[in-house]
Amino acid sequence: MSELQKLYDAILTGDAKSADSLTRQALVTGADPGELVSKYMIPAMDEVGRRFESEEYFVPELLLSARAMKAALELIRPLLAERGAQPAGRVVIGTVKGDLHDIGKNLVASMLEGGGFEVYDLGADVPPEKFVEAVKEKKADIVCLSALLTVTMRAMKTTIDSLKQAGVRDRVKVLVGGAPITVQYAQEIGADGYGENASVAVALARQSVTRGAAS
Amino acid sequence: MTEPRSTAYRSLAFPDPAELLFGTAARPVDCGLDLRIGAGTVFPEINFTLPPITVEAATWPEVVGHYEEIARAVVRRALALQAPGVVLEFELLPAMTENPEWGAEITRLLKRHLAEAHAVHGLRSALRVTPTDIRDQGTRPVLRSGPAWEKLKRSFELCVEAGADIISIESVGGKEVHDYGLMYGDIRAIVFALGMLAPRDMAWLWDEITSICRASGHAVPGGDTACGFANTAMQLAGQKLLPEVLAAVVRAMSAVRSLVAFEHGAVGPSKDCAYEGPVIKAITGCPISMEGKSASCAHFSPVGNIAAAMCDLWSNESVQNVRLLSGSAPEAFTELLIYDCRLMNTALRHGRALELRDWLTESDEWLSPQAAVLSPNATWKIAKAIVAEDIDYRRVIAAGHTAVRVLREGLDMKKLNLSRKEQQWLDRIENELSGLPASEDELRSEMLEQHGDLFDPASHGWD
């Protein structure tokens, strides 16, 4: 097995230590950083996604792979940035005001990180103005809003309204998710997408930045 | 060092698993308006919540209107069906704990309806009030001080003053590491959270709650729930995001932290969503509330029947105040619970409760790992393993090993079906439990080094 194939396997099996050392080794021996990402790391994460979708992997395996991917990406990102390459996208994520539930949001945040996104996690019970501030400050492409309670889901609309009032709504795609949320509700409040689970949320985020770049 | 204990249970209140029955607790609880819980009758516990609405000053009159409507409807249905008694549970929404006066206002309103029904119709009842644990939700949460704790404490005090009969909470101390443990399937982090962080927070918090209840002269400290721990695991397993065997083992281990409430003054009934309740009942003899099939309005459950096997209160968990053909949803679920209880109470009257308990058990037991650890036999074994140990850390490991053994027995008997992946996880959990250090201090040092960014040692009583 080639050393680079081992990097693919390290990510697939969630071995962050090996992913880190194999990436270092590859870079020292002159491997092209862009090629590492496109030929080995992203395909590994795609296979992880496939295994998760087909219920061969549970969340822990998925997150360990995401962590291994992140470890490798942290070494590669500065080199890509020197060449002017950008992350997959910048995401601001949080559970909306009044809602203290955050495990679903944490899951989405970790998976987005593993998917190559730069993620700014604002935590739980986040007021609309904090989302607005973060969108401006971090130059976000995507805002992910989470809610678990029927009495807090309306804060998603308030947050979207605040993004509009601050004049930043058109700059970002807003994705929503959480137990009481439906596609209809997402449409009603003017969100751009609804992720019924974490992997759908990541797929939507990818589509959002691809479409955003194309338009 | 484990927090000092006012009571440390070292034996079981029910020495024989055949005595673990619904409606029958070794230490019944008198509370509210002539209600005696755990003394031969199962009562319905109705829980409810608002439909989509923002809880704020502008909408407050509408919010109050919902609770008026709910209370009227629930009492009306309970009277129509001649319920022998009812418990209402008011779970405060976060905004109602943030504004303690709001929570108290709803408590007063609900109590007024119950008092009227008692005075006019003789309906026996109690009102359980459960403020939200709004303590610091950031990273390294500060749990024992700060404005959020002050508000939570005030909420307990005002709700008790307003007429709460039973006080409960779904406390979250330790969740800051447990969430991480669940997401990464990290057994060491899970054991640390359930065996050290959560029990230490529970000991501190329940001393506070018990003291507020005692000072009131009427409110009883009910109990806590591992909802944020084991129910999170259960729900994630239900969505195939976590292994079911992990959720089952976490359930067994979570009983240790919920037991701490009872070692610090709680007397029951424990919270409905504390599916670890049967273990608590086996150890303490206190009555428990449970939820199962009639909580399908709130969430999916793989333990719909078996959850009723040892309950003293039978709950619907939560239902929104929306209209159905038969009336409002809280009203409809009151009816459902009353009929469930009628059947159990009839079995009790005829001396055939054990038979019904065993049917409730058998119908679910081996269809899910999570049901398997809830059977009276499994409950009893887990409870026995817990009281055989003297510190929470070792209790958690013992409970975990016992749950693994229960699942293995099911596999060996070919009653429990597990996928290859689930079986691999069961092996992994067992190996990791066996590989834990004998000394809790060793694990604590390891966790401080690895996850010191997640928890605040001072909030768990460590300098």
Q: CB distance from A159 to chain B under 8 Å? A: no
Domain of residue A15 covers 3-82
Q: What are φ and ψ of residue B231, in 5° steps?
A: -75, -30
pLDDT at A101: 81
Q: What is the mean pLDDT of residues A50-54?
A: 87
A98 and A23 housed in the same domain: no
Q: Look at strands A173-177 and A142-146 and give their pairing.
A: parallel
DSSP B118-144: HHHH---EEEEEE----S--SSS---S
Looking at the structure of chain A, the number of domains it has is 2
A127 and A188 housed in the same domain: yes
pLDDT at B428: 97
pLDDT at A42: 86
pLDDT at A215: 34
Closest CA to B213 of B269, B268, B157: B157
Q: Write out residues in chain B with pLDDT < 50, as ranges.
A: 1-4
Look up the ipTM and state it: 0.89
A97 and A198 housed in the same domain: yes
A24 and A120 housed in the same domain: no
CB contacts of A152 in chain B (<8 Å) are 94
Among A82, A116, A141, give the residue marking a domain's end. A82
Dist. CA B351–CA B347, nearest whole Å: 6
Asked if the structure places residue B93 within a domain, the reply is yes
A192 and A114 housed in the same domain: yes
Closest CA to B39 of B55, B28, B51: B28
Among A22, A55, A82, give the residue marking a domain's end. A82
> In CATH, what number is assigned to the domain containing residue A51?
1.10.1240.10
Average pLDDT of every residue of chain A: 89
CB contacts of A63 in chain B (<8 Å) are 183-184
A136 and A204 housed in the same domain: yes
Are B137 and A155 a contacting pair at CB < 8 A? no
A69 and A109 housed in the same domain: no
A68 and A106 housed in the same domain: no
Q: CB distance from A102 to chain B under 8 Å? A: yes
B32, B33, B38, B43 alpha-carbon torsion, rounded to 10°: -110
A32 and A122 housed in the same domain: no
pLDDT tens readout for residues B77-104:
999 999 999 999 999 999 999 999 999 9
Looking at the structure of chain B, the number of domains it has is 1
Domain of residue B354 covers 23-460
pLDDT tens readout for residues B59-73:
999 999 999 999 999
Minimal C-alpha gap between A5 and chain B (Å): 24
Closest CA to B194 of B392, B58, B50, B40: B392
Number of C-alpha atoms within 13 angstroms, CB side, residue B241? 20
Asked if the structure places residue B12 within a domain, the reply is no
A120 and A210 housed in the same domain: yes
CB contacts of A121 in chain B (<8 Å) are none
Are A100 and B138 a contacting pair at CB < 8 A? no
pLDDT tens readout for residues B256-308:
999 999 999 999 999 999 999 999 999 999 999 999 999 999 988 999 999 99
> In CATH, what number is assigned to the domain containing residue A133?
3.40.50.280
pLDDT at A1: 58
Using alpha carbons only, give the angle B191, B287, B123 rounded to the nearest 5 degrees: 140
Among A22, A47, A82, give the residue marking a domain's end. A82
Minimal C-alpha gap between B298 and chain A (Å): 11
pLDDT at B84: 97
CB contacts of B53 in chain A (<8 Å) are 151, 154
pLDDT at A199: 78
Listed by number, the residues of chain A in 2-21 with a beta carbon closer than 8 Å to a beta carbon of chain B are none
B186: nearest CA in chain A? Answer: A60
Q: CB distance from A103 to chain B under 8 Å? A: yes
A60 and A149 housed in the same domain: no
Q: What share of chain A is helix, strand, coil (3-state, %, to 5)?
A: 60, 10, 30
pLDDT at A213: 44
CA B308 to chain centre: 14
> In DSSP terms, which residues pair with B288 in a beta bridge?
B270
Calculate the alpha carbon distances from B212 to A172, B20, B125, B126, B222 in Å: 49, 31, 21, 18, 12
Q: Look at strands B327-328 and B323-324 and give their pairing.
A: antiparallel
CB contacts of A154 in chain B (<8 Å) are 52-54
A104 and A193 housed in the same domain: yes
